[in-house]
A and B are shown apart, each in its own frame.
Chain A
Amino acid sequence: MKVRAQMSMVMNLDKCIGCHTCSVTCKQVWTNRPGTEYVWFNNVETKPGLGYPKRWEDQEQYRGGWTLDRKGKLKLKGGGKIKKLTSIFANPDLPLIDDYYEPWTYDFETVVNAPLSDIDPVARPHSQLTGKPTEITWGPNWDEGLAGSQETAMDDPLLADMQEQVRMAYEQAFMFFLPRICEHCLNPSCVASCPSGAMYKREEDGIVLVDQDKCRGWRFCVSGCPYKKVYFNHSTGKAEKCTMCFPRIEQGQPTICSETCVGRIRYLGLVLYDADRIEEAASVPDEKDLLDSQISVFLDPDDPEVIAAAREEGIPDDWMEHARRSPVYDLAVRWRVALPLHPEFRTMPMVWYVPPLSPVVSTLELDGYEADPDDIFGAIDSMRIPQQYLANLLSAGDVGVIREVLHKLGAMRAYMRKKEVLGEHDEEIAPQVGMTSAELERMYKLLAIANYEDRYVIPQAHTEQGAEMMKEQGSCGLDFDGGPGNCGAVEAKPASSSPIVPSADDDGFDLIKILQGGKR
């Protein structure tokens, strides 16, 4: 047994309102730089929808993640080491920038300089790749809230096996939001795909990072990640990815996406795992067993044997204390109401999702189910978001897993409603879903009340272990060339990869002239 700690996240999809605050604050902190205009370490997708980049979930197209070879051994779907080295001059599976979108800005200068006129001036969109005027035809969130989905949603890979059940007619449509960051996988295929050895998983907290000095721009991490959460900075020629805001995490603070989440949907905490068992657990033949096998590598932080082994591995006692209070361990392992995103990619992702239940509530109210908790379970089967769709997203297609989670969430609602509204303690609800009333109340406190200190249980890094850190004192740590940090130590960067090419120089469309003409 080799005990390691992993900083892990849970997102409660029931409460995500799709406001994109997480995406915006993340972008401001990390990818507001030339070469990363198209990059969103955190993005929020509308499901069903194509996602970002388009159809990222379709591994027959992108060939990310792992698969099993004929002997049942784990191998990269994008091919082995020899294949990678021989195709290094042109990666066959790399997405094109248009699969994400062509980043753009607006020609604000023309608007600012426009003369007084009867006509309102407008800012034309300009490509940030070429600087030239551009037509905006796709964006990171083009099908937001099902906009235009009658034309695009059927290309959602998750709908492939359920076309019959899904109607895009407005009154029958369903949708929910899916915020996505790097999964900081236990079995990261991006790390395995990197020929340079520039990508690594941190032993202390499991955060997956790219060494910017070692990266040589071979691009296999981009195609190797099935979640498409490693990006190519076309200005620096290096790969970049979500860092789980490690400078904040090390200080015991939540990531910027979590900190600014207005819906309080995010949870951060430690999970202990057995590093010796990962390959075996990721290799189970049946995809539907992957969830159970992933859960099986996690270690109980209350188990004396685990505590002894952890101490041997040098995991500090205060980290063990944090692991015992971890909301992620509660939601994903103890109660099993949070599920991994696409376990069938075999990367053992460590960002977990509580599936959305909300539409059930309206079903309940409409059909008068309210009074009888038994009917909640009936209602779950007829809820608007098809369970098959959630299963394709979160449980390798296993509907039974989804139903079990939704029943637990339904039971929590029923129990708390009786308690709060009717003042009754119905002790019969919890056993139906294999929990206790006390657990349901704790789950309610965590999911519904969601206090700050319950959501984020983050131990500080033990920097006293690192004499090296002394050398870094007073420096910024992120202010390398092209890096996100700028503690005033580096030159000001240009705002964009391609500064705006004035329209007059490009296609002769000169707004100022037109406006001046209009004034006459």
Chain B
Amino acid sequence: MSAGAVFLWVILPYVAIATFLVGHWWRYRTGQFGWTSGSTQLMERKILGWASPMFHYGALAAVGGHVIGLMVPVAFTDAVGMKENTYRWFAAIAGAVAGAVCVIGLCGLIYRRATNARVRRTTSRTDLVVYALIAALIGLGVWMTFAINLLTSSPYDYRSSMSLWWRSLFTLRPNISAATGANTVYQVHAILAWGFWALFPFSRLVHAWSMPLQYIGRPWILYRSRYAQAGRGR
């Protein structure tokens, strides 16, 4: 086993996970004021009106797909009686729809950020890195879904390669051979993804954790006392 393989499939993931965890702890404690969606809708709303929902809903669906693909072992789908072929078509078609919606949205967002001077002016260097990483990740991911899974007679079985390695990281017994033997496109996608997770807490991506679901059960009007606890309802 080469040093390069250990670096790519063991050290890099664990460094990224550590950065992700410690980074969030640090950001939450010190960076509340900068914790925002960083919306530019005030500057441009026509393209954003369709591109932003497409991108976000597509991305959320893709996240769901990753959870299923990476976390659910083959043994489980077998146990509930789902055939490999059924699983493959379900995953490929759902993934293709989510990926296509997400890519169209992302193209719209990149286009407006590149061409609208007002929006471009609000773009930070971190934003640029985030955009580049997301574009590469989604581009590769959509290529994988379409070319290697959907429109081919012999789809690639990532569940018996990348997924095994990914799960093995969390049992602290990294299965390096499952990763080194995997399809190269999948490998690049996975390596870039660790960069994405490491950058996550230091970028505006943190707004993903602020999905305000607590809004649903909340009273309409919130009161706060200057001297007492926050957030007493009407």
Contacts and interface: CB of A to CB of B under 8 A. Distances in A.
A94 interface: yes
A84 B118 contact: no
Interface string B203-232: 010010010111110101111111100111
A97 B55 CA distance: 23
Q: Interface centre among B36, B42, B44, B232, by most A CB within 10 Å?
A: B42
Contacts of A197: 212, 214-215, 218, 222, 231
Interface in A202-238: 202-204, 212-219, 232, 234-238
Nearest to A481: B33
Contacts, number: 139
B57 interface: yes
A165 to B, nearest CB: 36
A104 to B, nearest CB: 13
A130 interface: yes
Given A85-B213, A216-B35, A129 B226 contact: no
A75 to B, nearest CB: 9
Contacts of A380: none
A247 to B, nearest CB: 12
Classify the secondary structure of A's interface with B.
loop
A216 B37 contact: yes
Interface residues of B, number: 47
Contact of B45 (A96, A195, A212, A468): A96
A234 B222 contact: no
B234 interface: yes
Contacts of A219: 39, 41-42
A61 interface: no
A187 interface: yes
Nearest to B45: A96
A170 interface: no
A482 B223 CA distance: 25
B43 interface: yes
Given A96-B42, A218-B37, A238-B36, A195 B224 contact: no
B56 A234 contact: no
A466 B226 contact: yes
A81 interface: yes
Contacts of B121: 129-131, 497-498
Q: Interface centre among A89, A199, A481, A498, by most B CB within 10 Å?
A: A89
B222 A199 contact: yes
Contacts of A108: none
Interface in B75-102: none
Interface residues of A, number: 57
B224 A202 contact: yes
A212 B33 contact: yes
A217 B212 contact: no
Contacts of A441: none
A218 B212 contact: yes
A195 B211 CA distance: 9
A497 B40 CA distance: 14
Nearest to B228: A203
A192 B223 CA distance: 11
Given A197-B231, A238-B36, A216 B210 contact: yes
Contacts of B36: 215-217, 236-238
B220 A201 contact: no
A275 interface: yes
Interface of A: 81-82, 84-85, 87-92, 94-97, 129-132, 187-188, 191-192, 195-197, 199-204, 212-219, 232, 234-238, 275, 278-279, 461, 465-466, 468, 480-482, 497-498
Interface of B: 32-45, 48-50, 52-53, 55-57, 117-118, 121-122, 204, 207, 210, 212-216, 218, 220-227, 230-232, 234
24 contacts: A89-B53, A90-B41, A90-B48, A90-B52, A94-B45, A96-B42, A191-B221, A197-B231, A200-B231, A201-B221, A201-B222, A201-B223, A203-B232, A204-B226, A216-B37, A217-B36, A218-B37, A218-B39, A218-B212, A219-B42, A238-B36, A465-B227, A466-B226, A466-B227
